[in-house]
Amino acid sequence: MKPLKAVMIIQIAALITSVYINFAQYFTIQQMNQNFDNLNQTYNNLNQSYTDLNQRYLALNQTYNQLIDDINHFNNIINQDSAFQTPISKSQAIRIALAYGGWNATSLREQTVGANLRYFAFDADGSVERYLGEVFEPAENYFPVQEGTLTYRYVWLVFISTSGPFPFVHTAYYIDASSGEILSVMESLRD
């Protein structure tokens, strides 16, 4: 009987060891499942963050491209050539007007900017006495000429208008072609 008892003890010990090993494996598998669930949740969170960041990137990229377009438009506006060799060039007059008015690439979106050389007679207080016309031929001298109470000046008329089939000039700057002085500003309401 003793050998039978020894075999039973060995079998019971093996059974206890087997149960212990199964419980250990069960708890290990449970812990691995919990770790997998945590990793899966972390992956889902990271994936959502990536999607959100990608959408932000696309929005910022679109804004960036719009700003580049605005800057290129702005550069085309301020770099306008002219046949006249005035002390203040057409481009300089446009820059002076835009700086004075606080215009920038964004505020000039969907706007048209231009400038024409004009000739005016101003009275003693600086008001326009007479518009003498647009200048089409270069002059020998673009500096103001005083005759009695009138001062005759070449003036860059810098205008800003809406774009489109029916443009509306809403802002105009009168810039002295010899000095860059802002002689007058005419504005209607603008956004």
pLDDT of residue 156: 94
* Choice among 28-32, 80-84, 144-148, 172-176 with the minimum mean pLDDT: 80-84
Instruction: Please report, for the chain, the start and end positions of each structural domain, with discontinuous segments joined by +.
Output: 1-78, 82-187
109: left (phi over 0), alpha (psi -120 to 50) or beta: beta
Contacts of 189 by beta carbon, 8 Å cutoff, 6+ apart: 170
Report the DSSP pairing between strands 150-162 and 145-147. antiparallel
Q: What is the pLDDT of residues 75-123, one digit of tens each?
A: 666 666 666 678 888 888 998 999 999 988 888 888 889 899 999 999 9
Go through the chain and tell me how many residues it has.
191
Q: What is the pLDDT of residues 4-61, one digit of tens each?
A: 777 788 888 888 888 888 888 888 888 888 888 888 898 889 889 989 888 988 888 8
pLDDT of residue 147: 93
Q: Read off the pLDDT of each residue in 187-191 and give the average, rounded to a whole number.
A: 58
Q: Which H/E stretch holds residue 62?
A: helix 2-78
The DSSP letter of residue 175 is E
pTM of this structure: 0.60
Residue 120: both structure tokens together = 């005016």
Residue 17: both structure tokens together = 């060891």
Beta bridge partners of 30: none
Residue 160: both structure tokens together = 């800003």
Half-sphere exposure (CA, 13 Å, Cβ side) for 171? 19
Q: Read off the pLDDT of each residue in 139-145 and give the average, rounded to a whole number.
A: 89
Is residue 169 pLDDT above 80, yes or no? yes
CATH 3.30.2310 fits 82-187, yes or no: no
